[in-house]
Amino acid sequence: MATIRFDQVTKKYRDVTALHRFSFQFAEKAISVIVGRSGCGKSTLLQLINGLERPTHGQVFAFGEPIDYGNLALFRRRFGYAVQGTGLFPHLSVADNISLPARLMKWSKNRIEQRLDTLLQMVELTDVLRGRYPYQLSGGQRQRVGLCRAMMLDPAIFLLDEPFGALDPITKTEIHRELLRIQQKTPRTIVLVTHDMREAVKLADMILILEHGELVQAGTKEDILSNPATPFVEDLIHSQLEV
């Protein structure tokens, strides 16, 4: 099962508590969006899932089992991970950037080429872009390449850490539409972090709102917009949305 579950997880950095007694099970094959201001614990939460950080207390489960922080290499290959700025290697072509995870896994050349063809068609990148380098691409094209790399190994879980934050509004809208189309075609468990409530409302099946490392509300966008649980949630809604 492509599930993620947190059980009373606390993460501290010396005297700073980034996440406090967080418990939640993310819905399988749905888009869960985590919203909050900078420093609220959003990115820490993703880092606890992919093993970049370890819990101070509590336990994180993925695929129905506790995350083994002592054996992460194999485990991480079951996730797709994309961040703001795409993280593309400037010295690698589009094809080489996308296929890097598969080459590290020793996939055959034929298998890599077939998967590349599928992904480029899926995100509507023309074949002529295969040999280009990141500096030769637009922001939207780079973001699509980043998503393709995250999807290369066909993972059941995607972790997206503010991947669209640097895009202009028009390009962001196009990428949002692309992500929703891909999700409709091949549903996956997606956990996306953002500070943008508008983005959350557009993409999410479930929205989680964090404040000072604590979960203050979780629900569908309809639930949260119609019944904000705290003044902070209400302020977050009214400061970013016309409600």
For residue 189 the two structure tokens come to 């468990």
Burial category of 184 from C-beta neighbours within 10 Å (exposed 0-12, middle 13-18, buried 19 and up): exposed
Task: Output DSSP code: residue 27.
Answer: P
* CB-based contact 22:51 (threshold 8 Å): no
For residue 137 the two structure tokens come to 């691409």
pLDDT beyond 90 at 100: yes
Q: Higher model confidence: residue 224 or residue 75?
A: 224
Q: Which of 25-39, 54-68, 101-115, 165-179 has the lowest mean pLDDT?
A: 165-179
Residue with tokens 């050349």: 109
Taking the C-alpha atoms of residue 117 and residue 32, their distance in angstroms, rounded to an integer, is 28
Give the phi and the psi of residue 49 in degrees, each rounded to 5. -75, -45
Residue with tokens 């993310």: 26
Q: Which of 133-147, 158-172, 225-239 has the lowest mean pLDDT?
A: 158-172
Q: Higher model confidence: residue 226 or residue 78?
A: 226
Q: Please, what sign has the CA dihedral across residues 98, 102, 103, 107?
A: negative
* CB-based contact 56:10 (threshold 8 Å): yes
Which residues, 6 or more positions from 184, have their beta carbon under 8 angstroms from its beta carbon? none
- For 41-99, write each residue's pLDDT tens digit: 898 999 999 888 999 999 999 998 999 888 887 777 888 888 766 678 999 999 999 99
* Predicted pLDDT at 206: 97
* Predicted pLDDT at 1: 66
Q: State the average pLDDT for the chain.
A: 89
How far apart, in Å, are the Cα atoms of 192 and each of 59, 159, 203, 226? 20, 6, 9, 22
pLDDT beyond 60 at 134: yes
Mean local confidence (pLDDT), 29-39: 93
